[in-house]
Every structure is written in structure tokens, then in C-alpha cells.
Structure 1
Amino acid sequence: MADPKSVFIVAAERSGDHLGAGLIRALRDAAGDGVRLAGVGGDAMAGEGIESAVDTSGLSILGLFDGLKAYGRVKAKVAETVAEILRVKPDAVVLIDSWGFMLRVAQGVRAADPSIRLIKYVGPQVFATRPGRAKTLANTVDHLMTILSFDAPYYEPHGLPVTFVGNPTLDRLPTGDGAAFRERHGLAQDQEIMLVLLGSRTSEIRRLWKSFEGAVKSLTGARPNLQPVFIMAAPVEDLVRPRLEAGGWMIVREDEKADAFAAADVALACSGTVVTELATAGVPTVTGYRLGWMTWAVLRLLRVMKAPFISLVNIAAGRMLVPEFVQTQCQPRQLSQSVSGLLDDPERRKALSEELVAATRQLRGEGDASRRAAETVISLL
């Protein structure tokens, strides 16, 4: 009997940690004792029995200047991660998302031991910004597993093999029970429900809080039948919960997310994966985002942003299905007016719901994305 192959999985952020956990389950299902697993990650991967030798907390960083401030910490974590990989000496390393961190880990491993196969899982969004990263990635890793159907043409010209596996995050979304959610929380079946999702990074809360808070206050003041429901992201609960409780607003945790999606009339959400999740569930959504002002100024000055939209669902559809309010446009008045427009037009909401579901089909791929990712890893071994 052949010796089992060894796979080392690295995830530096919460979303990557969940992708890693799904991949671990799928690898075990597909290969059983034929694969040995180790890795660096968070709670989700730990729940699958992968104890991380490196503490990845504090690596959820977004923006140029936040990255510069965290440079020393990130550099140290990269060194620890590379050292752990070299100690384990796996046949392959799967590096999930987190462009800057994973690039440095890949470069460190490649320099020390070129025999280890490097697989990137989720590529940088070169269709939107910094297309030169495609060549950099092609020169650093052996294969890219992408969650976006339109990624391959950006990477393959540089000689990087690409496999589209689909988006496991969207596979995980169960069908919710909206009526049960309303009954559980004492909400009438005809009451308007607006979900509010503030993001899962401290920096996002800090930059979006006033705009979102102002929009919610304006909307509830003008619409007595409107119930805002804040869905709490676990990583920022300690920061956000006191603010929400002080405002007397309704809070639910993420384990109620599917039911809340099914009950919602509209959503106001921080730009990110959750916007795609809401679209997959057919929830008409308004999204906002703010970067640090210095980062934003540099991006504007260098004209780094290439995509016409920031939301994947809009990019997939080729048009603005989810209204976007970015930086100076992310103001209470603009957000509240956009949400009101949706609430005032039930027919538009119904049509938009159907369009959102259709637009996200290509983002989901053929389904069971973690299984497809596992099969890709096994084939590369």
C-alpha cells in the first residue's frame, strides 16, 4: 500500500478558515487514509481536528496603510508559517485567499524547498485591480483553484493552470424559514424587515458605523412598520453589541442567518462575501464601503481600480443589481434613500430577487465546490 500523501492547508482570515474546513472534510471524504492533513488556520479548521501551530488572529487586514502598520506582525507570522511547513515537509501546500500573506509564504517555501507543490485557492481579484498580480502568482505557485468562473483568462496567458471549482460559501447556504424567524422574534408577517450587516473586520465597523447608523435611524423614523435586524458577525461582537444594545436594536447571531435571509424584505450590507450570499438568497440589497482615506487617495491617484463595480454579483451580471455607495457616497442620506426606493416598490423587489438569484448561478458553479477543490488537490498529488 502506497504511503499517504501529505497536504498542508494555510488560512489567515475567517473566510479562508471556513474554506479550509470545507476542503479538509472533502479531502477526507475523497481520500480517507490516503491523505495526511496539517495546517495553519482558525477555529473552523480546529473544529476539523487541525491544530494550528501559528496564531492567525490579527491577520484580517484590509488597505495599504493598515497593512503597513501591521507589517512587523505579518512578517513574523509568515516566518512562523514557513518554518512549520518546512518542518512538516508536505507534498503540497494549499494557500487560501489573503493575497499578501500567502504570496510571502509561497515565496518562502519555494525558496527553501522547490519540491513542495504550491496550490493557491482563491486568486487576487486582478479583474478589478492590479492585473500584474496574475503574473506574480504564476511565477510563484503551481496551480490556482478559483471560485470565480471568469478568472482563468487573466492567469492562463502567464502559464498558470487554473481550475474553476465554484464558491463553497454559497454551497453552504441552507434554505431558511422566514415565517419561523418572524414568529420566533414576535414580528408580524406583514412587518417590513431590513437586515443590517456591518462587516466582520474591526476596520469596517470603525469606518461604516456612522453611515449605517444614520441610515437606519432615518429609515425607522420615516417608516414605523420597519424592523431593522442586525446580524452579528462573531469576530466583532464585543465591539458592536454594546452599540446596538444602547440603541435598543434587534440583534441576531449568524446561526440564524438563513432564516433571517428568508424573512427579509431588503438588506443594508457592508460590501463583501455577504452581499453575494444575500443575492444567492434573492434578498434585494444596498451595499456600502469605505477604505482608509490614504489608501483611497492612492488608489484614485494611481487609477488602480479597473472594474466598474465592487460587488461580485454586479460584475457577474454586468450591471448594477446591488446599488453601491463607496467612500464619499457612503452617507446616511444616500443609503436610506436607496433602501426606501426598494421598500416602496414591491414589484421591483420581486423582479430584482429573481435577477439576483440568476446572476449568482455562475458564481456557485456546478455545486459541491469543496469536493471539486479536493479532487483538484488529489489530482495534483
Structure 2
Amino acid sequence: MMQVRNPAIGRKIFLIATEESGDRLGAALMKVLRQRLGDAVRFSGVGGRAMTREGIDPLFPIEDLSIMGFAAVVKQLPKILQLIRRTTDAVLDELPDMLVIIDSPDFTHRVARRVRARKPEIPIVNYVSPSVWAWRPGRAQAMSSYVDHVLALLPFEPEEYRKLNGPPCSYVGHPLVEQLASLRPNEQERARRDAAPPVLLVLPGSRRSEIRHHLALFGAALGELGKRTGFELVLPTMPHLETMVREGVAAWPVVPTIAVGETEKRAAFRRARAALAKSGTVTLELALSGIPMVTAYRVGAAEAFILRRAIRVSSVILANLVIGDEIIPEFLQEDCTPANLAQALGEVLADSPGRLRQLVAFATLDAKMSTGDQPPSVRAADIVLATMGRRSG
């Protein structure tokens, strides 16, 4: 008969997050787990500033893994492998009651596989699904051998895991659904959205390599657009990227206002009429805010060669995937030209059929992404605790 462990003994939970977005998810999860388990719970692992504030003493700075692109990964491979071994050893030394891996599957899943092989009794939950629906679908079935439950941020992911014979997967909700008030305009801000000159956001990426790939291209596209129509340009970025961004836009034909930090970014979102964005999570953020957009993505030649043969979906835009229709225009690689971007931006700035189509589709997102009356962090904590309880002896 299964024995129930006395909660007074306390629990040890090891979490691994290596990106800022995962760090925020981990911190929110830790907060709810502490509310459920009390002061007896002890956290350890890898995380950033938010998780550190919640009680983790990180094994190493997550900036050590801020690596983007295949060429960069190959160059840093010895360091990455060393950190994988170090993290695995820390889990095995700790022998936690639960291992929660968050984001960065190329790192966290290697740790999880090693832990499962050597200590199969440690339950493992994966918070943030790898993009098995986009490429490398075989990962889903492989995960069944070392992941007990997947916590999905996107509502279509559980069905993908079922079709691909993956581990149990539950939609817990995207953290953006808890932030709608900061994304959506009040009456005054809505009036600014419709006023002239229109506010146009430009979002070239959140990593240095992404910014390098997109900044000059976006500047040229905006220069083309500026010949046809007027607009107020705003470029949101984070403090650690501000210097790089300011240097990169200094020669742009249209000078943007730089909005630094999350608060200024959200304020810009609430005023903006349209956006030019690098494809990624920000497309979902823009869609929830009700901002029609044009998306672009350009990578190095080697990475593009691999991705073309691996991608199994017709769109890489998260908002398109959640909506279930390709309503947001996307320009990839050689299609990603200043002329193409400027033409598409002119249409979404105007009262065009394409702009209206996006706005109508965005209005369906609240229902598609609803988590009922429970925030994502609470739903995630419930599954973590249930999984931990099932494997307790």
C-alpha cells in the first residue's frame, strides 16, 4: 500500500530554468508551492533573479547559457556539457522529491534523462513543452521514458502529445493570460491607437543574435515605409540590450523612441496601432493586446538549411497556431526584404481587410486560452504536487 509522506518532514524540489521567461514561470510556481507546503519546503537548482528572490541559490548564472544559433552552440559545446554534468550531479546529490525542468530543452532534457537513468524514483515534470508540434516530433514519444507530466503553455499542445504518444500533458495556461490588464488600453490609450500619427512598434528580438540578424533589415523596411506614410516609431527593449540597440538604430532613416524595461514596453503596447516583430512569443503578446502585426524571421544560412528540413508546420507564429489560421503575415529568410515588410506594414497600419481580419481573430483568443478561475501557476502547482504524491512511497 502506498504510504503518504508526513508534510511536516518537508519537501525538496529541484528546479531548472535557464531563460528569463522560464525564470519568471519558476518563481511563480515556487510561490504557490510554498503556499501549499509551508516553510518546510526547500528549493534548489538553476534560475535567475526571480527564482533567486523566491529562495533558490543558483548553481551558476543563467547568462552562462544565453547561447543562440547552431554555430554558437557548437563553439560553446564543451562549456554546455560541463554545465549539464554539474547540474545532473547536483540533482543526484540533493535527491529531491521532485525535479521540475523549465524551458531550454536541449539543456534541461539532457539533465532529466541522466537523472532518470540513475535515480528513476525521482519524479520529473516538464514545465513549457518543447515544440514537438513544429519539429522533431519524435521527441514526444522519447520523453515518455523520462518525463512524468508536461505542463503546456499553449492550448493545442495536449492533443499533440496524445497524437505523438508522448507523456501525459495538461494545458495549465500561458502567463500572459494573467497580464491582460497591463496589455490592453484604457479609453485614453485606445483613442491614441486611432489617432495620427499612428504608433508603430518595432520588436527585433530579445537576444543579441536575433537583434544582429534583424536590426538593419527592420531599419531599411521602416525607411521604405516612411517614404509613404508618417508614424511614431517605438522600439521596446530590456536594459541589458539598450546600448546595443541604441548603437544599432543610430543610422536608421526613421529614429525610434527606445522604451526600456517591461513597464515602458507595456505602456507602448497599449498605445500602438501596429507592429513589426521578430516571430516568437511576442506575437502572442501583441495579439492579446489587439495589435495587428507583420512578422519576420531571419537566421544564418546553416541554421536556415536545417530548419527548412525540420519544420513540420505551415506557420511558426504562435498566435497563428493558437488561433488555428494563418492570419498574421510572416516573412522568412529570402522573403524577409525591406520592400516586402514595408508593403505589409502599410496594410496593417491602414483600415485594410487584412488588419480587420487580424483584429477579429484576436478577439477569439481569450476563450481559446482561458484557464477558468485558476491562474497558470496554481494549475501548474496542483499537477506538480499530484505527480509528487503519486510517486511517493
CA contact (8 A) 2:202 2:276 kept: yes
Does structure 2 conserve the Cα–Cα contact (< 8 Å) formed by 1:170 and 1:277? no
Give distance in 2, aligned partners of 1:119 and 1:187. Answer: 42
Is the deviation greater in 290-299 or in 238-247? 238-247
Q: CA deviation at 1:37?
A: 1.8
The aligned runs of 1:286-301 (5 Å cut-off) are 286-300=294-308
Q: Could you tell me which residue of structure 2 aligns to residue 329 of structure 1?
A: 335
Q: CA deviation at 1:212?
A: 0.7
Aligned to 1:275: 283
CA contact (8 A) 1:178 1:263 kept: no
- Is residue 65 from structure 1 mapped to residue 64 from structure 2 by the alignment? no
Aligned length: 376
Question: Aligned pair in 2 of structure 1 residues 270, 111: CA closer, same or farther (>3 Å)?
Answer: same
Give the whole-Å Cα distance in 2 for the aligned partners of 1:329 and 1:159. 35
1:255 aligns with 2:268: no
Deviation at residue 221 of structure 1 after TM alignment: 3.2
Matches within 5 A, 1:185-196: 189-196=195-202
Change (3 A) 1:316 1:333: same
Distance change in 2, residues 1:51/1:182 (3 Å): farther
Note closer, same or farther for the CA distance 1:5–1:130 as it changes in structure 2 (3 Å cut): same
Residue 3 of structure 2 corresponds to which residue in structure 1? none
Deviations along 1:241-292, one digit per CA (max 9) or x if unpaired, are 2223565421112212222111110011111111101101111011111122
**Conserved? CA contact 2:154–2:322, under 8 Å:** no
For 1:92 and 1:10, locate their aligned partners in 2 and report how far apart those are by CA, in whole Å. Answer: 11
Residues in 2 aligned to 1:159 and 1:318: alpha-carbon distance in whole angstroms: 22
Q: For the residues of structure 2 that align with 1:35 and 1:23, how far apart are their CA atoms?
A: 13
Choose 287-296 or 229-238, whichever is displaced more.
229-238
- SS of aligned partner of 2:114: helix
* Structure 2 CA distance for aligned equivalents of residues 361 and 77 of structure 1: 41
Greater mean alpha carbon deviation, residues 124-133 or residues 240-249: 240-249
Tell me the distance in 2 between the aligned counterparts of 1:110 and 1:99: 15
Q: SS at the partner of 1:222?
A: coil
Letter paired with 2:272? A
Distance 2:185 2:349 in 1: 21
- Mapping of residues 229-248 of structure 1, within 5 Å: 229-245=234-250, 247=252, 248=255
Are 2:133 and 2:157, in contact at CA under 8 Å, matched by a contact in 1?
Answer: yes
Cα deviation, 1:169-217, whole Å, max 9, x if unaligned, reads: 332343355677799xx99953210011111111111111121111122
TM-score between the two structures when normalised by the length of structure 1: 0.91
Q: 1:83 aligns with which of 89, 100, 110?
A: 89
2:60 equivalent in structure 1: 54
SS for the counterpart of 2:249 is helix
2:85 is equivalent to residue 97 of structure 1: no
How far apart are 1:365 and its partner, in Å? 3.6
Counterpart secondary structure, 1:52? coil
Aligned to 2:175: 168
SS at match of 1:119: strand
SS in 1 for 2:56: coil
Match of residue 227 from structure 1: 232
Provide Cα deviations, 1:23-65, integer angstroms capped at 9, x if missing partner: 1122223332353222211122123232212222142334433
**8 Å contact kept, 1:121–1:144:** yes
Q: Is the 8 A contact 1:91 1:116 kept in 2?
A: yes
Q: Secondary structure at the match of 1:149?
A: coil
Cα shift at 1:67: 2.3
Determine the structure 1 residue equivalent to 2:208.
202
Distance change >3 Å, CA 342–CA 212, structure 1 → 2: same
Give, in whole Å, the separation in 2 of the partners of 1:285 and 1:310: 14
Q: Summarize the Cα distance change of 1:114–1:84 in structure 2 as closer, same or farther, 3 Å threshold.
A: same
Which structure 1 residue ranges, 5 or more long, are not aligned?
A: none
How much is the aligned-residue C-alpha RMSD, in angstroms?
Answer: 2.5
Provide the residue aligned with 1:378 in structure 2: 385
Cα distance change, pair 243–128 in 1 and its aligned pair in 2 (3 A): same
Once the two structures are superposed, residues 128-178 of structure 1 have per-residue CA deviations (whole angstroms, 9 ceiling, x without a partner) of 111111112112222111112222233346351212111123323433556
Kindly indicate whether the alpha-carbon contact (under 8 Å) linking 2:328 and 2:358 is maintained by their aligned counterparts in 1.
Answer: no
2:151 paired residue number: 145
| 1:110 equivalent in alignment to 2:116 | yes
Gaps of 5+ in 2: 1-5, 389-393
Corresponding residue of 1:43 = 49
Structure 1 Cα separation of the partners of residues 274 and 251 of structure 2: 24
Contact residue 244 and residue 251 of structure 1 kept, 8 A: no
In the alignment, which residue of structure 2 is the partner of 1:214? 220
Instruction: Provide closer, same or farther for how the CA distance between residues 158 and 182 of structure 1 changes in structure 2, counting only shifts above 3 A.
Output: closer
Where 1:57 maps in the other structure, the secondary structure is helix
* CA displacement, residues 56-90 of structure 1 (integer Å, 9 cap, x when unaligned): 21423344333222211211111221122223221
Whether the 8 Å CA contact 1:282–1:354 is kept in 2: the answer is no
Would you say 1:8 and 2:14 are equivalent positions?
Answer: yes
In structure 2, distance between residues paired with 1:132 and 1:326: 25
Residue aligning to 2:391: none
Instruction: Tell me, in whole angstroms, the C-alpha distance in 2 between the residues paired with 1:354 and 1:235.
Output: 36
Residue pair 1:149, 1:365 contacting (<8 A) in 2 also: no
- Which stretch of the first structure deviates more once superposed, 28-37 or 307-316? 28-37
Per the alignment, do residues 210 and 74 of structure 1 end up closer, same or farther by CA in structure 2, a change over 3 Å counting? same
Deviates more, 1:242-251 or 1:164-173: 242-251
